[in-house]
Amino acid sequence: MSNSVDLAAEYVLLVLDDDKGGFRQDLTTVDFTVAAAELACLVRDDVLAFDSSREGLPFLCAGHRAARDELHEEIVHRCLGKTCDQAIAALASPFGKQPHTARSLREHVVERLVGSGVLTTRRDRLLGIIPRTRYPQADGVPEVELRGRLMSVFNGAEPDEDTGVLIALLDAGHALSQAFPGLTRDQLRRGHEIAEGRWPGEGLRRAFAQQAAYMAQTSTIGVSY
């Protein structure tokens, strides 16, 4: 799979409608999940690490490896000294060197997918009035391969580390049945089982589970984007 399709991008592909180019989840949930995905990758790659030397919840500190680009350097800078829940909240907000150029991680991920030819850009107006940008699929191969890999796991195959974390993200963000509406009860149960213990840190799992529970609660009272 292309280098442009990392863990956060895989999640985005699964919750984007291939034809309409809109998200199947509200943007708040998408932003928090993308933030958690990026954080999970940085912990896994030892760019960030957990420090439990002070009282209370572990906080994030620099790992032994450098960030791969300027964007991830900024992500690391935002996370240092924070607990996991604080880091996810910080990464879910737009950021940039100037307020008028600030963008969310979701927008960065989508831009990367457009640049690599996986998605395309479609601009129109909602109700003929409100400008909006959609991201339909341009190259279906990466998502077909991704869905095939996940379906093999739902059917009993053992997942690799990244696939396990992706399933954990989908499960915690209540997106398994949205991304895979045809899953049987047994396949959904398998997804829930795989999700357990797949996070690269208990603090990260707990923090995102708390955020996901809050987002699910707000969704039941009609908040949508």
What is d(CA 14, CA 175) in angstroms, rounded to the nearest whole number? 9
Q: What angle do CA 177, 180, 183 make, to 5 degrees?
A: 80
> Which pLDDT does position 221 carry in this prediction?
38
> Which pLDDT does position 195 carry in this prediction?
87
Q: What angle do CA 132, 134, 138 make, to 5 degrees?
A: 155
Render 123-173 in DSSP notation, one character per residue: EEEETTTEEEEE--BS--HHHHHHHHHHHHHHTTPPP-HHHHHHHHHHHHT
Helix (H) or strand (E) run with residue 75 in it: helix 70-79
What is d(CA 168, CA 10) in angstroms, rounded to the nearest whole number? 13
| Residue 90 in tokens | 């910080």
* Helices 7-15, 161-172: inter-axial angle, 10-degree rounding: 50
> Which pLDDT does position 220 carry in this prediction?
44
Check: CB of residue 33 under 8 Å from CB of residue 169: yes
Check: CB of residue 38 under 8 Å from CB of residue 8: yes
In the chain the domains, ranked by start, together with CATH numbers, are: 7-113+137-217 (1.10.3630.10)
Would you give per-residue pLDDT tens digits along the chain (225 residues)?
555 689 999 999 999 999 999 999 889 889 999 999 999 889 889 999 988 887 777 889 999 999 988 889 999 999 999 988 899 889 988 876 666 667 899 999 999 999 999 999 998 877 778 888 999 999 999 999 999 999 999 999 999 988 999 999 898 888 999 999 999 999 999 999 998 866 665 666 666 666 665 555 555 433 333
> Which pLDDT does position 174 carry in this prediction?
86
> Which pLDDT does position 214 carry in this prediction?
55
> Which pLDDT does position 105 carry in this prediction?
93
What is d(CA 64, CA 168) in angstroms, rounded to the nearest whole number? 25
Task: Quote the pTM value.
Answer: 0.87
